[in-house]
Structure 1
Amino acid sequence: MAFFYKRSVLILLSVLLFLAVSALAGFLYWKKMLAAPLPIQNSVIFELQKGAGVNQALRALKREGILEHRWPLRLWLKLYPQKYVLRAGEYRIPKGINAHALLDILTSGKPVQYQITLPEGLSFKEVLALLQQQAKLDVRTHDMKTGDIMQAAAGKDYRDLHPEGQFFPDTYQFHKGVTDLHILKTAYSKMQQVLKEEWDQADQKKLPYKSAYDALIMASIVEKETGVPDERARIAGVFVTRLQKKMRLQTDPTVIYGLGERFKGNLTRTHLKEKTAYNTYRINGLPPTPIAMPGRGAIHAALNPEKDGSLYFVAKGDGSHVFSRTLAAHNRAVREYQIYKRKQNYQSSPDRAEQ
């Protein structure tokens, strides 16, 4: 009887030992799987869909070859369900990381960042077109009216605000799913901030502006007139001097803006004689709105003009200008640089209509 009892005990101990060894081996194998590098040869982008649960996420990871086996992570997440909250979004998964690091990425809430640059000098229409080309943005503006866009960007009290020039040219970061309206709202706020900073620092009593908005209009003209940073203040100086002398601005970019889609690349004398709200050869003072998005440099120049007595300038053909104090000197410069047949007349020479 004792023999059979001892034998049963030995068998039980053997079974328990076997189970313990198997459990330890299984545990070590599980830990090894969690610590092993993921089976990807290069960095990949993985999108965790909104509302996806753990099982859906693991299936997607395996389907895309990021995980070889699902069970190690499934077991880990069952043991620590409160520690890991998966967050929807696109994530960059670098090669060489293990399952633990993968979980840290998917629960970080730090998705892949993209960027879009809105260059200086774009019109509102061009800004919308650029935003609508971004595949990673959630584009909402396609079928929206301008007033609805302005309300979304600036608030309900600004539905009737003309959109031109109201968005700051800069590089903006975003992740997939962010709306183009969010970018516009950010750009609008940035423009208000920059304009206020520059306006508050300017000697407003020496300027012919009734408001910061007038300065924004001038800045947009300066932005379209020259791509040479060192010339901005001098260009602004010419226009400010002309305003103070009650002279017309006579600047081609405003005429072109007023023509809209009718402008085909060749500005004619007929265009210069046409009466529009933006034809500064025909109207006194500033046009009613900005004509483009000015950057900080152009805004600063409009509020800090370099007044050296120049009343005229003409494009040299290389992006820079010749400045003149008298019409006679200006006309000589025009004749000298007429050999540069500009393909597009985006850079004007004031008093062109008088030539």
Structure 2
Amino acid sequence: MPQPQTNELTVDWIRRWWRQPDHYDWLSDYLESQGQQRPIRIFLAVTLAVLGAIPVLIELGRPGPPDVLAVIVMITATGLCLAMAAMWLRRWPTRTQSRVFAIGSALCVGAACLAEPDPQAGLIGCSIFAAIAGLVAFTHTSPYLALICGIAVATVTGCAAKIAMLGDPLGGVSKAIIVLVGIVTVPGVGQIMVQMLGTGAVQSDVDALTGLHNRRGFYRGAAEQITRARSYRSSRVGVVLVDIDDFKRINDTEGHAAGDRVLIAVAATLRRVAGKSAVTARVGGEEFLIATAVGGSSLRALAERVRAEVDHLPQGVTISVGAACTPSATDGDIRTLLDQLVELADEAMYSAKRAGGNRIDYRELDAPPPPKPAPPPAAPPRSAGTRPG
């Protein structure tokens, strides 16, 4: 009887592993916040450069006349690995660049190993897949990892089949198993490390799901915004609060995985629209905050751009946006000022939501209240003893 339940749990685990969101952005931000991007970049660059040189070294050490096709393929593989190493050494790559280089390197390494006339040397070259798969496991989603591992398994199987055809089937199988264990172990450790870092990110200033700041990170970054704004007396500080309309319905009808994808898409949009100079954070289940040093009209325009960009997302969601701005970068306690701005932006957001959602509401902190309508003029007093005519 417990067998069906075990199978169901296994399928559920595989489904969750396959659908886990991309962690490239939050991992990049987390490593940067901890000052670890540079040493990791150097480590990856050196590792890729060393591993990328393996195919050429194997070819140079092979006796006999060189195989022209093998040399071309191996030089291409080495060149791509070295280019990827140079990219990591120079700067932290974008998510797309990282994906393209990882897949391209895997394809070139696979071609180089299969083109190698000596299949045992080809199997040794397959060890490069461990580094590529580990990098993908550390930075990207499970489908990309499955693609890299698929290329690796196909290459290892091809090299092992060549060894078997040369009269050593058991040797081919045993060597293939040794190489495959290394290829599988490295990305497995990488994914465990990502999970551990994710726990640390939640406890620091980064939201692990979206890669944005969390509430603590928002207040720290927004305080720095106000401090800088106060050095320019004409600067103003604004806060934009975003709430996804009818988000509970998404979780209830489509599942939490779909809700996570919506949160990630909205977070990426806010990050792009607000720009690097702003502080963008996820501070609640479906609530986001942006703090920036801008004027009132610019803040209103930013809020409208955020609303419009989210409205065009393929996920088909809308947001209610509240914006609040100071008349100037006023003196006083920074935390108190931020609390006032967030509270006022929250009131504006709820006003936009009550009006139907998918709209913005803008407020000024310490703005004078609107004038009350003048009371009607009082009727002149009537004299005692008089009667209306």
TM-score (norm 2): 0.23
More helix by share: 2
Q: Which has the larger radius of gyration?
A: 1
* TM-score between the two structures when normalised by the length of structure 1: 0.24
